[in-house]
Amino acid sequence: MYDDLYYNNISPQYFMNNSMMIAQVLGLVYLSIGIGMLLSPAHYDKLLAEFEKNASLTYIGGIMALIFGYIILHMNNVWEGSYVGAITLIGWVACVKGVLLLAKPDLVLGQMVFWKKQRTLMQVVVIVLGAAFAYYGFMA
């Protein structure tokens, strides 16, 4: 499972502890955002509008996405068919999103139009992801 020389010197328990901690954080963040989107949709519409208009926010968002994606991958770069693999996928998506926000922000900002129109779908996806990660992080 861990072919790299670096990973051969680290116990699998190390990755499991990291995976559980990251799942806990993702669960709390996604659940909080999802519930917030349900209870305060106008607030989240305002956040998205300000993010689109403000180049500095877009730039900082790109840096943050890249940093958090890298941290996730550094702590949990394991491809397997479980929540651990989903965490790795989120890390890679965050890194790619960060690079795109820094290098070609219009590409990412253009995708926000779709998500604005699909508010209910976005709320469901965020809450389901949050519930799944919270379950694996805190209960499994």
- pTM comes to 0.83
- How far lies 12's CA from each of 25, 74, 132, in Å? 20, 14, 22
* Mean pLDDT computed over 20-25: 95
Tokens encoding 22: 């990251």
Residue 7's pLDDT band, with cuts at 50, 70 and 90, is low
The pLDDT assigned to 110 comes to 85
- Average pLDDT value over all residues in the chain: 89
Mean pLDDT of all residues in 96-110: 93
Percentage helix, strand, coil for the chain under 3-state DSSP, each rounded to 5: 85, 0, 15
